A and B are shown apart, each in its own frame.
Chain A
Amino acid sequence: MTQYAQTQTTVSEYSELSILQRTDKRDIAYVVYGIVILLMVVCAYLMAIFGWLPHDPEEMQLELMLAGPGAPGHLLGTDFMGRDTLPRLILVIKAYFVPGLMYIAVAILLGGIFGILSGYYGNKYETVVTYITNIIDSFPRLILMLLVVAAFKPDIYYIMMVLGVTNAPLVSQLIKGKISMLRQKNFVESAIALGIPDARIIFKHILWFNCRSYLIIQATLGMGEAILLESALSYLGFGVQEPTPSWGNMVQQGANYLLQGQLWSSTIPAMAIMFTVLGFYLLGDGLNNMLEGKRQS
C-alpha cells in the first residue's frame, strides 16, 4: 500500500522541497546512520589525538587476559595481553584515519589522471591507460598486496597505497564513463566552444560538479573495503602490526582463542568492523540515492 497525497490545493511557485524532504526516508536513515558512524569516527579520532581515552590502551593486566565485556574495569573486555579493548578500538581510528585519506587521495588522483587522459584527451592516451589499468586489474589484489607488504613493510601506509593504486582503475572508469556521457550530451564540446579553459572544464565542470558525489560514494565504499582488506592481511600476518592497534589485528589475535570458546575478544572488534563497514555501505547507498536522485519517478 502506497500513499500519495497532495499537501496543498494549489502548488504555487513550486515550493521546491529541500533535498532532505524529497529523499526517501529510508535513504535519510541510511545517511544518518552513516553520518553517525562518521561522527563516531571523527570523535574517536579526536579522542585518540588528544588522548581522552577511557583507559590506558597499553596497560597490560596479565592476570586478566581475554576477559569478556563487563569484566571489572573493562567495559568491552580485554585482549590477549590483558589490555582494555575499548581504548584500543578508539585508537584504531587514529591509525586508519590519515592512511585512509591517503588511500582515497591516491585512488582519486591516479584514477582521475587515468580517467581524464583516456576520457577527455581520448585517442592519444587511451591505449596506454587501458594497458596500465588492465595490468592493475589483472592482479588479484590481495596477492599483490601480500607481495608488496611481504616485500617491504607491513605498514598501513603501504597497504593503503597499494589499495589506492589498485582502486584507481575503478575511479578512472567512472570518470571516463562520466566524461563520455557528458560528451554525448555535447556538454564538454560546448564548454570548449565557449572558450572555457580545459583545466576548468575538467576540474570544475566534470570533476567538481558531475563526479563529486560519485567520488564521495566511491570513497565511502572504498573505506569499507580498506578495513576489510586490512583485516584479511592481518589474518595472513601482514596487516598492521602491534603495538599499533588495528581492527584487523585485534580480530585476528582474538580469533586465535575463538575456537577455544573465548568469543569476545575477536567478536567485539569484528562487530566494530561490521557496523562501520555497513555504515559506509549504507552511507554510499543513501548518498547515491540522495545526490544522484535515484528515486523512482
Chain B
Amino acid sequence: MNNSPLLKIEELRTYFYSRTKQAFIRSVDGVDLEVNKGDTLGIVGESGSGKSVSMLSIMGLIAARPGIITGQVWYQQEQARINLLAGLQDHVQVSKNDGRIMSVEKTDLAWQRRLEKNMLGIRGKEIAMIFQNPKSAMNPFFTIGHQIVENITRHTQYKSRKEAKERALYWLERVKIDSPQLRFYNYPYGLSGGMCQRAMIATALSSEAKLLIADEPTTGLDATIQARIADLLEELRAQTGVTIVLISHDMGVIGRLSNKIAVMYGGRVMESGPAQAVIDHADGKSHPYTEALLKSIPREDNMSSQGHLNSIDGEVLDTINVPRGCRFASRCQRINKSIEKMCLNEEPPLATVSDGHKIRCWHFAGV
C-alpha cells in the first residue's frame, strides 16, 4: 500500500465551445485536487462553478462533440497508477495565446473512442457515481432490482443470476429500503424521491467501487429526507470504507459529511483542506468566498439587524470572459486598497496556509 492519493487531478480543464458566442465556456479551468483513500471530499460552490463538470470530465461523461478536456487525472488502481485522460491529447490540437486556449482542432470520433477505451474497467467498477434527481437518473424502464443486478454481474464476482439477486437484496437492505424483496421488483416511478436515491446509492455501491462520486445527492429532496440521505452516506462510508467525493452547493450537507473540503468558484479551486480548517471562518482564516458562502446559510446568527440574510452580492462568474486577476475579486468583501491591484490583475496562487489547507487569495499568498 503506497501513500499516493486514490485520485489526483492535475490542471484539469474542461471547455465547451459555444457557437452562439463564438467563444469557449471555461467551465473547469485548471483544477488540482487530491482524494486520499477513505476520505470524504466535499466540493462546494455555486451552480456554474464547475464542480459537477469537473467530476463528469473525470468519468468521461462530457458530451463528446463540443467538449474539450485537457490535463491529467491519475487514478490509483490496485497496482498501477493510470491516467484517465491518457492519449486524448493526440486527437486534440490546442493553440494558445497568452495562456488562453484560442482555438482547438479535435477529431471527435477518435477522441471519443480513446476516452471510452480509457474508461473501460474504470466506470462503475472503480469509480461509481450518483446523481441528483434520482428519478430521472434511474432508468425508468427497468426495475430497481434489474439495475442493481446488472451492475453486480458486470463488475463483481457474483455472476450467476441467483447470487447477483441475493447480493442486490443485500445492498437494498444496506441502504435501508423497507421490504427489499418487494422493492426489487419496483420501477423507479413507483418510489418516492428519497427511496429512489437510496436505490441509486445501492446501485452505485453494489459494484464495490473504490470511489463514489455523489453529485448533489440531496438536492431537490425534502429537507427531512435530505438529512436522512446524508446520514446514510455517512454510515455507509464508515461501514464500507468507500472513498466519497461529494458535490453540493449546500454548505450544511458538505460540512456534515466531509472530512476534506474544496471550494470551487468559476472553474477554479479557491480553497481546499481539512473540513474543520475550511469551515472555521470566524477570524478570517479562510477564503473570502468560503466565508461568504457560510454566512449566507439561513441561520439566526447570519441575520443582519434589518432582518436581512447575508448574501453574496453580484452575479456568478461569467465563465467566458474570465477576469485576468482573482476570479472572485468583483464580489469580494475583503478586497482593499493595499492589494486591489494584485487582485484585479493577477490570479493568486493556491497557497498553503497550514497542513493541507490551501487558499487561493492574495491575502494568504504572502503567508
**Is the Cβ of A17 less than 8 Å from the Cβ of B65?**
no
**Is the Cβ of A12 less than 8 Å from the Cβ of B321?**
yes
Interface residues of A in 1-50 (CB under 8 A from B): 1-12, 14-17, 22
A260 at interface, CB cutoff 8 A: no
29 sampled A-B residue pairs with Cβ under 8 A: A1-B105, A1-B106, A4-B24, A4-B66, A4-B103, A4-B104, A4-B106, A5-B103, A6-B22, A6-B100, A6-B101, A6-B102, A6-B103, A7-B22, A7-B23, A8-B22, A8-B23, A9-B98, A9-B100, A11-B22, A11-B320, A15-B22, A16-B20, A17-B20, A17-B22, A22-B19, A296-B63, A296-B65, A297-B66
A297–B17 CA distance with the chains assembled, in angstroms: 8
Asked whether A6 and B24 contact (CB < 8 A) given A1-B106, A297-B18, A297-B66, the answer is yes
A54 to chain B, nearest CB (A): 44
B107 at interface, CB cutoff 8 A: yes
A294 at interface, CB cutoff 8 A: no
Contact among A11, A12, A15, A297 with B19 in the assembled complex (CB-CB below 8 Å): A297
The closest CB in chain B to the CB of A14 belongs to: B21
Asked whether A2 and B106 contact (CB < 8 A) given A11-B321, A17-B20, the answer is yes
B108 at interface, CB cutoff 8 A: yes
B212 at interface, CB cutoff 8 A: no
A61 to chain B, nearest CB (A): 56
B-chain residues with CB within 8 Å of residue A11 when the two chains form the complex: 21-23, 320-321
B97 at interface, CB cutoff 8 A: yes
A4–B106 CA distance with the chains assembled, in angstroms: 8
How many chain A residues sit at the interface, stated as a range, is 20 to 34
Interface residues of A in 246-297 (CB under 8 A from B): 295-297
A6–B320 CA distance with the chains assembled, in angstroms: 10
B177 at interface, CB cutoff 8 A: no
Where chain A touches its partner, the secondary structure class is loop
Report which B residues bind A (CB closer than 8 A): 16-24, 63, 65-66, 68, 97-98, 100-108, 320-321
Contact among B97, B103, B107 with A1 in the assembled complex (CB-CB below 8 Å): B107
B-chain residues with CB within 8 Å of residue A5 when the two chains form the complex: 22, 102-104
A22–B19 CA distance with the chains assembled, in angstroms: 6
| Apart from A4-B24, A6-B102, A297-B16, 6 more pairs, CB < 8 Å | A2-B107, A5-B22, A10-B321, A11-B320, A15-B22, A297-B66
A271–B107 CA distance with the chains assembled, in angstroms: 39
B226 to chain A, nearest CB (A): 23
* Residue of A2, A6, A8, A297 contacting most chain B CB atoms (<10 Å): A6
A-chain residues with CB within 8 Å of residue B19 when the two chains form the complex: 17, 22, 295, 297
A-chain residues with CB within 8 Å of residue B102 when the two chains form the complex: 5-6, 9
Asked whether A2 and B18 contact (CB < 8 A) given A9-B97, A11-B321, A296-B66, the answer is no
**Is the Cβ of B63 less than 8 Å from the Cβ of A3?**
no
Interface residues of A in 211-260 (CB under 8 A from B): none
The closest CB in chain B to the CB of A23 belongs to: B19
Asked whether A22 and B20 contact (CB < 8 A) given A9-B100, A11-B321, the answer is yes
B-chain residues with CB within 8 Å of residue A3 when the two chains form the complex: 103-106
B225 to chain A, nearest CB (A): 23
- Nearest first, the 9 A-B pairs at minimum CB distance are A5-B103, A4-B17, A22-B20, A11-B23, A4-B104, A6-B23, A7-B22, A14-B21, A10-B321
B-chain residues with CB within 8 Å of residue A7 when the two chains form the complex: 22-23
B98 to chain A, nearest CB (A): 7
